[in-house]
Amino acid sequence: MVEIVFEKDLAVLKFPKQLVASEYVQQFLERLRLEAIIEKSKMTEKQAWELSEQIKEEWWQNNRDKFINRKKD
């Protein structure tokens, strides 16, 4: 059973906790938050692409050793 209630500025969603793992709920809520930010964004597609490339490069710089060292083992 799923129940949705709107109270002032809140949407309250109730469901049995056995339906999904708490990590999934956290990921889902983060996705909703990001989508709300994106809707308000004035970023162009080119700017979004450049930002995504920057994020990927930073991620690789922070994580590359984990992958390189794993191959050597």
Residue 50 corresponds to which tokens in the numbers above? 């450049």
pLDDT in tens, 8-39: 999 999 999 899 999 999 999 999 998 998 88
Mean pLDDT of 26-54: 91
47 and 37 in one domain?
no
Predicted TM-score (pTM) of this structure: 0.50
Residue with tokens 């994020």: 55
Residue from 15, 13, 17 nearest 4 by CA: 13
Amino acid, res. 58: E
State whether 1 and 36 are in the same domain: yes
* Structural domain for 65, as ranges: 43-73
Confirm if 19 and 12 have CB atoms less than 8 A apart.
Answer: no
Q: How many domains does the chain have?
A: 2
